[in-house]
Amino acid sequence: MVAFVTFSQRRWTGGIRFILDKFQAHLDPGPGAIVRSVDAKLDPRKVNVLLVSHSHPDHYGDAETFIEAMTEGTTRKKGTLVASHSVLFGNDACEASISKYHQRIIGRVIEAKPGDSFDIGELKVRTTRALHSDPEAVGYCFNVPEAGIIGYTSDTEFFHEMEDYYEGVRLLILCVMRPSGSPWQGHMTTDDAIEIIKLVKPEAAIFTHFGLKMLMNNPEKQAKSVEEKTGIPVKAAFDGMRVTMNSKEIFYSMRNT
């Protein structure tokens, strides 16, 4: 289960940082996101937009701390929070995970619903549907200048017409919690990843958000198997992974290299 990985930190739960020329965004800042950010010399005060996909702690754990950093200790009302309805207001399955206080002190709050599109600074954002135990979970597509479209599924199981939300994606980041043959409702396995990659046909794909069973079954081997079956380059994410994209190529490296 992801919970075991989260509290053991066998894999970090810091989320994903997007660094553009004059703009930064942080996606799904789970437990440890602030510490990992500072350790990587990525100042959380420089984040312009915080995005949260759903109301589970491995995706929102450090969100309020990020908001305080973004607002310079609550002294300046600036920055943008993009989050699902469940994160902002709660629902029958989940409590709201970002306080009213923190929603008031940030400059702008956007409720993310599947199919919505909006511009934030240099980013063009499109919200995608997710099918998860938080019924209002969402994924995102980011149209990045000079890089193209990056898709992030968040936690979801594979569903009919999922591919429509990720049309035109160059890099597809998939939350693949379970290895082949080990399904769990609300999440994807490597078998599901094969299906969505074949349909979307991205230039490349990255697996992330591994549960304990996935770690025991070697994510790198699972990714390689999917690559062989789809013909699409697939990488298993590792702690501190950096991805650099331009209009022609995608590069992978360790942090600080």
pLDDT at residue 251 above 80?
yes
Q: Is the pLDDT of residue 1 over 90?
A: no
**The predicted structure's pLDDT at residue 256:** 43
Confidence of residue 2 (pLDDT cuts 50, 70, 90): low
Terminus-to-terminus CA distance in the chain, angstroms?
32
- E strands, 93-233, are 108-112, 117-120, 123-129, 138-144, 148-152, 171-178, 188-189, 204-208
Confidence of residue 257 (pLDDT cuts 50, 70, 90): very low
Q: Which structural domain range is residue 207 located in?
A: 2-253
Distance CA(63)–CA(51), nearest Å, equals 9
Q: Return the half-sphere exposure (C-beta side, CA atoms, 13 A cut-off) of residue 122.
A: 16
* pLDDT tens track for 100-157: 999 999 999 999 999 999 999 889 999 999 999 999 999 999 999 999 999 999 999 9
C-alpha span between 146 and 246 (Å, rounded)? 6
Q: How confident is the model at residue 76 (pLDDT cuts 50, 70, 90)?
A: very high
pLDDT tens column, 178-222: 999 999 999 999 999 999 999 999 999 999 999 999 999 999 999
CATH number of the domain bearing residue 110? 3.60.15.10
d(CA 186, CA 130): 9
The larger pLDDT score, comparing residue 254 to residue 29, is at 29
CA 253 – CA 32 distance, rounded (Å): 21
Could you give the number of structural domains in the chain?
A: 1
CA distances 113 to 24, 45, 135, 233, 241, Å, are 22, 27, 11, 30, 29
Residue 4 vs residues 7, 15, 180, 214, 245: alpha-carbon distances, Å: 6, 17, 20, 12, 32
Residue 33 DSSP code:
H
The per-residue pLDDT for range 4-53, each reduced to its tens digit, is 788 888 899 999 999 998 899 999 999 999 999 999 999 999 999 999 99
Q: Which two structure tokens, joined as six digits, stand for 138?
A: 């969402």
Which pLDDT belongs to residue 255? 52
- % of residues, the chain, pLDDT over 90: 90
